[in-house]
Structure 1
Amino acid sequence: MLKVIGCNNHLGETAPGLAGNLTRLQELNPQLDLEVVAETVCEHVKNDPRLKNFESVVATSENLAKVSQEKHAEKLTPLHILGDHAAAMGTVAAASASVETLGVIWIDAHADINTESTTPSGHIHGMPIAALLGITESVELNDLHFAGPKFKPEHMVYIGLRDVDPGEKVYLEKLGILHYYWDEVVERGLAACLEEIVKHFQAVDRVHVSLDLDSMDPELIPGVSVPVPGGFTPADTHQILRALLENTSVCSLDLVEYNPELDVDDVSAKYVLETVELIREYYK
């Protein structure tokens, strides 16, 4: 059975519109059954420009991890509707704590594997994979929810990459993470890539799926804070989800980075709501 958890977090990116994500979705669908984990706002004492809003991001991610792990313990499948992608540190950690061997697929224009030494912005929404793999300089990030890495690099896949920072490219190659740039997906065909990904995940027990709305073409899905030209169509991302839900053992999912302030005619909001219903069909 699916359990939808919502969080209005935005301090990992500081795009204010993200904080209104759940409000707009519930306005459009008052029957949307959400358990809300509100963003935690803390006094910021670290004040490291490389880790902006550090205390708030860590506290929010930890709270999400606790709530999400409770759902795993109840044999539910959590679907998280999040603001910025930093909060996935908590959702992935909860999945990792609940299964034997976790695989992760990151459907995103960005690699989100910056560390303090490579980040161009200091925004932690560009660092969750680095934290989950335990390669940041911060013990609090690396050991969020429990000590140590949350999955192995060889158990991860990126698909749809279009904007990867130089330091991130080094980590992708150094760690040997399977990754598909958008151009490769176009050249080879989505179906062929998905066939490889499904085979790749035969080495894990369960899979966590994290879908960033900016993986899609901003001409089609405009309600994102960091748009990148090109990208998937909404139908493409639904094809990806169906392939994973039908051919791997998905234990949890994220839908992230919906920003209602940047949306046009609620196109992006309607996509989120339609995607929730698509996923729900697999858990009835």
Structure 2
Amino acid sequence: MKQKISIIGVPMDLGQMRRGVDMGPSVIRYAGVVERLEALGYAVEDRGDVKIGRPSTLDVKNDDNLKDLNVVIEANQTLAEEVSKAVAEDAFPLILGGDHSIAIGSLAGVADKVDQLGVIWYDAHGDLNTGETSPSGNIHGMPLAASLGIGHPSLTEIGGYAPKVRPENVVIIGARSLDEGERELIKEKGIKVFTMHEVDRLGMSKVMEQAIEHVTKNTDGVHLSLDLDALDPLYAPGVGTPVIGGPTYRETHLAMEMLAESGIITSAEFVEVNPILDVKNQTAEAAVALIGSLFGEKLL
């Protein structure tokens, strides 16, 4: 991994309905992410937060079943530009959310500088909905589909091109809540998914070995998109869409440690930390600890 890290905060809460996740970047910083990375020897530049606009009325769907679309587009376009700048400066982009709709901009900024991008999507959900398949119209359930070039053109073409990633270069880990449209899309596109059944049956070590092998076959870099709701809510209660039965805190650390050992990750985002729903900043502290493991922190 690169020794220079650029932190970009995205205080976005308009991709879903529960307010408070816009404070995620602040509480992750408060939990000591910069100090943790500097202690590991990295040169850290905190570029501050992407400015997020506020519509006069929240959670309004357009005719295509997309809530707060214009503000989400604007924020992701700005984020894509900031991420692209960081990559051009030979820095590792570390994006702090905010809800998961920001992954549209993250991937647009990274893929702009990488010929064949791989993606590890560590999440309880597939985030493969479109306006046509989404039960809610929440865009935080659509970023992976949009990055694959599937969905409304205003989302798929952020950054000025589409798609950002190919289905064969994607691995989803920890899935345990998929909508019908997402299941159909996974089968249609042949997307590699390790549900909690595979995690339980194979163990996290084997899952990560296979995921790393799959995502590095034909890629020039790999982006990690980690939603804190991937963890079981026992370990990360401060998320908007918790789903019981997820990976443990220790299993997720192992996943990050194996990614660190592999050296394949070239950009990353940690999203969906909502301090209003949290207990004593437990989820933000978990995020910082996992970031430490991703960047090579070891006990001995």
Task: Output the CA distance in 1 between the equivalents of 2:263 and 2:186.
Answer: 24
Q: Deviations over 1:32-83 (max 9, x none)?
A: 6632213233568983361000001111111111001100000000111111
> Percent of aligned pairs with the same residue?
36
Task: Output the CA distance in 2 between the equivalents of 1:195 and 1:78.
Answer: 24
Aligned residue in 2 for 1:14? 17
For structure 2, list consecutive stretches of 5 or more residues without a partner in the other structure.
Answer: 36-44
Aligned residue in 2 for 1:176? 190
Q: Does 1:34 align with 2:46?
A: yes
Contact 2:260 2:296 in 1 (8 A): no
Task: Output the CA distance in 2 between the equivalents of 1:182 and 1:109.
Answer: 9
Structure 1 residues 177 and 31, CA gap change in structure 2 (3 angstroms): closer
Task: Output the CA distance in 2 between the equivalents of 1:4 and 1:43.
Answer: 29
Task: Output the CA distance in 2 between the equivalents of 1:195 and 1:28.
Answer: 30
2:99 counterpart letter in structure 1: D
Aligned residue in 2 for 1:121? 136
Task: Output the CA distance in 2 between the equivalents of 1:178 and 1:211.
Answer: 16
Q: Does 1:207 align with 2:198?
A: no
Q: Does 1:102 align with 2:117?
A: yes
Structure 1 residues 163 and 31, CA gap change in structure 2 (3 angstroms): closer
Contact 2:126 2:178 in 1 (8 A): yes
Tell me the secondary structure at the aligned position of residue 231 of structure 1. coil
2:180 counterpart letter in structure 1: P
Shift of 1:248: 4.5
Aligned residue in 1 for 2:284? 269
For structure 1, list consecutive stretches of 5 or more residues without a partner in the other structure.
Answer: none
Contact 2:120 2:171 in 1 (8 A): yes
Structure 1 residues 8 and 118, CA gap change in structure 2 (3 angstroms): same
Tell me the secondary structure at the aligned position of residue 245 of structure 2. coil
Aligned residue in 1 for 2:171? 157
TM-score, normalization: structure 2? 0.88
Aligned residue in 2 for 1:78? 93
Shift of 1:28: 4.3
Moved more, 48-57 or 252-261: 48-57
Tell me the secondary structure at the aligned position of residue 140 of structure 1. helix
TM-score, normalization: structure 1? 0.93
1:203 counterpart letter in structure 2: N
Contact 1:43 1:55 in 2 (8 A): no
Task: Output the CA distance in 2 between the equivalents of 1:110 and 1:258.
Answer: 15
Contact 1:93 1:145 in 2 (8 A): yes
Tell me the secondary structure at the aligned position of residue 61 of structure 1. helix
Shift of 1:7: 1.1
Contact 1:2 1:280 in 2 (8 A): no
Q: How many residues are aligned here?
A: 281
Task: Output the CA distance in 2 between the equivalents of 1:211 and 1:123.
Answer: 18
